[in-house]
Structure 1
Amino acid sequence: MFRFTAGFGGAGVFICGGVLAGVLGTRAIVVFFSGGGLGMLLTGAVLPWLFELRGPAAWPAAWIATGVVCLPLSVAAIHAARSIAEPSSPHVGADWPWRACLPVLASYFIFGLGYIAYMTFMVAWVRHDAVNAASLATTTSVMWGLLGVMTLLAPLLWARPFDGRRDGRPMGAALFVLTAGAALPLILPNLVGIWLSATLVGGSVFMVPAAVTGFVKNNLARPAWGNAMAIATSLFAIGQTIGPAACGWLSDRAGSLSFGLAVSAMMLLVSGVLALLQKPLA
């Protein structure tokens, strides 16, 4: 129940925040979606050491602390939203050519499948398969720290390629970098590979939803933004729901987490190819 509630709220944040950021422009979109990097940086610096000291018993306290941090952020978001004009309406001109957007929608669904498998099982893979790794706390703390730092830097790296593009190339480019990051630990199963993987993944993962939001903003009339983002985010959420279960099942069948991560990287590659098929809307 609590996980469902958190996911439902997270979907609302993605939809509303992405649409409202779209009102301000491309730079605001990439900054909004890179905000998760700060959370990764802070939790990565603290939680692995907490779990090493207290073990699984520390999980409830970690979840409660995360919720407490979200409370003032929610108040700040509500205050900020009051000063932004509503960008869309469900009653006026909300129709949009969804069939013409199928490549980006399918890509976003498969992205949800693939990226969440990496995020879910990467720490377990490090524990069981990494060669010559340092302590789990050190390895995962640096890994999540790099993810967070690169997510914060991503807007600077991607702002120019994203600016004003009306096709699926920005999304495809971000997905190809993400694919390389997801596959790298399988090629270099050591600290260099793990941390370089985190660098590439952090620098690209939140640019995919930013690219989808930018595509919607640059191709559709403003009244259709909310509807289009709701559909896209729903597909993404379905992918996130299926991804961990499918990856876990495949890993169990193969007897190796590496197989599941390889499938994750392949799905991200397919997602990138689909994104490149998306043309600007007339």
Structure 2
Amino acid sequence: MGRAVPRRGGRRRHPVRRPGSAGRDGDGAGAGTPPVKPAAGFALRRPRLTALALSLGAAISLGLSRFSYGLLLPPMRDDLGWSYLLAGAMNTANAAGYFVGALLTPMLMRRLRAQHALLGGALLTAAFLLLSGMMTDTAALMTQRVLAGFASAFIFISGGLLAARLGALHPQRAGFLIGLYYGGTGIGITLAALAVPAALETAARHGATHGWQWAWLALGAACLAMTALMALPAQAVDGAASAAAARGGFRPRSFAFGLAGYFMFGVGYIGYMTFVVALLREQGMAARAITAFYALLGLAVLASSRIWAGLLDRYKGGQALAILNGLLALATLLPVLTAATPAVFASGLLFGAVFLSVVASTTALVRHNLPAPLWSAGIGAFTTVFAFGQIVGPTVAGWISDAGGGLRGGLVFSAAALAAGALIASRQRPLQEATLVD
């Protein structure tokens, strides 16, 4: 054999990636990370922007689809003659739809890429919000709330999966990136706080018969815009269909106090988010002050992932869930005890800075106490009891408000549920891994 002749132009140089080396911006996934497909390049180079884009899914699912209703409840109730029981039942319907959607989402994602569930759910949610701006029939509106909750479950769960997989590409920043995703709820809350009053004022200037319909149309349009913004960045994360999760070995009784405490959180927090704006309006707070209150609550949600990260890492049992539930009970009571503006704003800031961290605390509890193959089963159990709590809370708070307790009575019930959740969760002890698997 003769000598090989080099090609014209010299030997071709190939880039070499050493184990553990980072990309150009220093965001490499670290040693041992499997090769990444070219489509993931943006997620590797720009993890924060990718997480921020994914967070628009949380903004749609919770901020716009669910929590914006608290701003629209007063004008809809006045216009349509609803009782507080019926007004609360609208959010119960939304939570029931979410519960059904959450049960079906794992099956859906075993057949579809997570991006399909994320973007499909976002488009459906936008469509249902737009339809809410085109009708006045109570039964039809309740149906829309059910369907919007159903579709929003696809968004929230599939987006959470994509955020977790993004975190796996950047393990040293995983907590922050996942926190950015959940914090996107605050973007939706803040946007709703600004968009709903503006839409109501515009409708009033044009003499609209049902001004709240304009607000639903504006929220639906915002959902469409957010879907467009997150579509391309979402493609940069691995969205491959999930294999069936391991189920054997998880024992709900081992987490009985944590599950019960989280159920009470679901019962209590949703009453505040449903009725607090109606209470502030009843107490005579100016419309612009209410807008500022709700916007600041949303901004506090954005900051929450940084505030409580150390707490979630420190405690292995139910202590974090107990502490956060207790703080929420205090935040819920403040506007009941006094209508003073500083106290009301302190309530909103505290509530916003805490309530989504309760969700994160249950994920931390599962991660601290279960082997990785059982995380999905554990988180699924917590999601189920939480959904049941959300179904119960608004209806009971609305019934109390109608039965003579007024909105203050409804919020006292919510605060009591949160306080009970704190006491129950405090009894959840860290578990030994040996007791969790057969």
What are the Cα deviations for residues 34-73 of structure 1, in whole angstroms up to 9, with x where unaligned?
2101111111123124324536823333223323333454
Q: Distance in 2 between matches of 1:87 and 1:97?
A: 26
For the pair shown, the structure with the greater C-alpha radius of gyration is 2
Equivalent of 1:153, from 293, 303, 306? 303
Structure 1 stretch displaced more, 70-79 or 60-69 = 70-79
Deviates more, 1:16-25 or 1:142-151: 16-25
**Amino acid paired to 2:220:** G
Q: 1:266: how far off?
A: 0.9
Give the unaligned 5+ runs of structure 2. 1-142, 168-173, 433-438
Q: Which residue of 2 aligns with 1:68?
A: 221
Moved more, 157-166 or 35-44: 157-166
Question: Which of 157, 162, 175 pairs up with 1:26?
Answer: 175
Change (3 A) 1:92 1:249: closer
5 Å matches for 1:267-282? 267-282=417-432
- Aligned-pair CA distance for 1:77: 6.3
Are residues 52 and 258 of structure 1, via their aligned partners in 2, closer, same or farther at CA, if it must alter by over 3 Å? farther
1:8 corresponding residue in structure 2: 150
Tell me, yes or no, if the aligned pair for 1:88 and 1:224 is still in contact at 8 Å: no
SS in 1 for 2:210: helix
Q: CA deviation at 1:155?
A: 1.4
- Whether contact under 8 Å (1:105, 1:235) holds in the other structure is yes
> Hey, what does 2:404 align to over in structure 1?
254
TM-score, scaled relative to structure 1: 0.87
Please give the alpha-carbon distance, in whole angstroms, between the structure 2 residues aligned to 1:96 and 1:176. 28
The structural deviation recorded for 1:168 is 1.4
Structure 2 residue 414 is the aligned partner of structure 1 residue 264? yes
Between the aligned partners of 1:78 and 1:276, the Cα distance in structure 2 is 43
**Do 1:41 and 1:146's aligned partners in 2 also have CA atoms closer than 8 Å?**
yes
Distance 2:232 2:258 in 1: 30
Q: SS of the residue aligned with 2:384?
A: helix
Could you tell me how far 1:233 is from its partner in structure 2? 1.6
SS in structure 2 opposite 1:205? helix
1:228 partnered with 2:383: no
**AA partner of residue 182 (structure 1):** T
Q: Could you tell me how far apart the structure 2 residues matched to 1:88 and 1:94 are?
A: 17
Match 2:264 to one of 110, 125, 143: 110
**2:189 aligned to which of 16, 31, 40:** 40
Aligned in 2, Cα 1:279/1:27: closer, same or farther, shift over 3 Å? farther
Does 2:360 correspond to 1:210? yes
Matched residue type, 1:169: Q
Aligned letter for 2:345?
A: W
Normalising by structure 2, we get a TM-score of 0.58
For residues 220 and 22 of structure 1, do their structure 2 counterparts lie closer, same or farther at Cα, with a shift above 3 Å needed?
A: farther
Distance (whole Å) between structure 2 residues aligned to residue 61 and residue 163 of structure 1: 44
Match of 2:292 in 1: 142
Say which of 330, 337, 346 aligns to 1:180: 330
Residue 256 of structure 1 aligns to a residue in which SS?
helix
Q: Which has the higher contact order (CA 8 A, sep 6+)?
A: 1
Aligned length: 278
Over 3 Å counting, the alpha-carbon distance change for 1:35 and 1:91 in structure 2 is: closer
CA displacement at 1:21 relative to structure 2? 4.1
Secondary structure, counterpart of 2:190 in structure 1: helix
Task: Point out the more displaced range, 234-243 or 261-270.
Answer: 234-243
SS in 2 for 1:203: helix
Q: Confirm or deny: 8 A CA contact 2:162 2:237 kept in the other structure.
A: no
**Paired amino acid for 1:98:** P
2:246–2:376 Cα contact (<8 Å) kept: no
Shift of 1:215: 1.7
Taking the TM superposition and a 5 Å limit, the aligned residue runs for 1:119-134 are 119-129=273-283, 133=285
Distance 1:234 1:63, change over 3 A: farther
Larger helix fraction of residues:
1
Q: How far 1:250 moved relative to its partner?
A: 1.0
Partner Cα distance (1:46, 1:156) in 2: 27
Distance 1:150 1:197 in 2: 11
Would the alpha carbon gap of residues 50 and 64 (structure 1) be closer, same or farther in structure 2, given more than 3 Å must change? closer
The 8 Å contact of residues 328 and 355 in structure 2, kept in 1 or not, is answered as: yes
Distance 2:369 2:162 in 1: 16
Write the distance in 2 (CA, Å) between the matches of 1:143 and 1:12: 29
Amino acid of the residue matched to residue 151 of structure 2? G
Distance 2:249 2:235 in 1: 25
Gaps of at least 5 residues in structure 1 are: none
Q: Deviation at 1:255?
A: 4.1
Question: By how many angstroms is 1:14 displaced?
Answer: 3.9
Aligned identity (percent) is: 32
Cα RMSD over matched residues?
2.6
